[in-house]
Amino acid sequence: MTVVVGIPLEVRPGETRVAMLPDSVAKLSASKGDGDPPFRFLVERSAGRGAHVADSAYDVVGAEIVEADMLWSRADVVITVNPPDPGLIGHMRSGSVLIGMLRSTERHDLIRKCMEHKISSFAFEATPRITRAQKIDALSSMSTVAGYQAALLGAGLCPKFLPMMMTAAGTITPARVLVIGAGVAGLQAIATARRLGAVVEGFDIRPAAKEQVLSLGARFVELPSAQEDAETEGGYAKALTEAQQQEQRALLADHIAGADIVITTALVPGRPAPQIIDEPTVSRMRAGSVIIDIAAESGGNCALTQPGESIVTDNGVHIEGPLNLPAQLPVHASQMYGRNTLELLKELAPDGALVINLDDDMIGPMCITHDWEVVHEPTRAAMNLESSAATESSS
């Protein structure tokens, strides 16, 4: 058997990524022996244009270039980068599969459509934090891109050199960079700023992040009352109490005021981004200082961030609220995303036929809908549905 995979054109404004590049398509569509290839690909016309990939590049590796309606109606599996238009789900065959960054706890309209049409959906943002799942962790892949690009964006807006320089005009002191949040994006921002020669500080409420920050050559800013249980079982930061948030803001205020570039990456899954930089702290920053707020899409870590906008405050601080940093590096972002997808497809169809095993410790947690039901508990809770466990016990 052969699984038919659809790669549609992303229509989100400003999106340049594509779910899979031709190199990944070629690896999955190669025949094993004399039998049929395990996967066959349908690629929507112009799907790769934002990532500088022509339709002919997909054609060369055996993909079929089709229009959108044919792709959604014929594919066994459709892979997207962003949540698709819910109206497209009605074109999918019952029992087919949707994979992507689905934002399932927010996009209830999309999830209801998947449930109504018996679509098995898998969300990359629900990838479990286990060793086996690292190969499919698209969230970490995109965070890597975002952290790197945030550091470059900050460097481009900063009115100073980042590295120390010995010149005929004297010694130029290095710029100071503060990165708040030492997850994947924050660590990549730290590493990139260090490569550019800046003096870098990193902060995170999780004590375990200290070793990682120090290993990159940055100084770690410690919260005196930091607790070992400041992170969830999945490795994400827990929400702080109001008292802890006040302590955090007070601790960071001097570091923020002394920084030339501040990059904020702090997120708590399922909640608005914590507000870490208040207006009085921004007023203490020097004119020409820059804040790059990666958390803008979830509300922002800075009180003055305007998602999707670039502003300059009255005291001359430049605040950026970028919404889709990975789209600014579409080639490598698409390559990384496609390789994560490649590995997930190999797990879902190891022998050329789709097998959805919800008991699998990697596949099960990623599944949002299956057999006319929402099976992902956080999504059920967000949609105010009775938990599946309660439903089973009452039946």
Mind telling me the catalytic residues? 129, 134, 137, 140, 236
The length of the chain in residues reads: 395
Tell me the backbone φ, ψ of residue 56, rounded to 5 degrees: -60, -30
Tell me the backbone φ, ψ of residue 389, rounded to 5 degrees: -65, -40
Which residues, including other chains, have CB under 8 Å from residue 383's CB and lie 6 or more apart? 108, 111, 112, 374
- DSSP symbols for 230-296: -B-TTSPBPPPPHHHHHHHHHHHHHHHHT-SEEEE----TTSPPP--B-HHHHHHSPTT-EEEEGGG
Token couple for 117: 């049409």
> Are 76 and 96 spatial neighbours (Cβ–Cβ below 8 Å)?
yes
**Distance, first Cα to last Cα, the chain:** 37
**Identity of residue 94:** S
Q: Is 309 left (phi over 0), alpha (psi -120 to 50) or beta?
A: beta
Determine whether 123 is exposed, middle or buried from the number of CB atoms within 10 Å of its CB (0-12, 13-18, 19+). buried
Which residues, including other chains, have CB under 8 Å from residue 64's CB and lie 6 or more apart? 40, 41, 42, 43
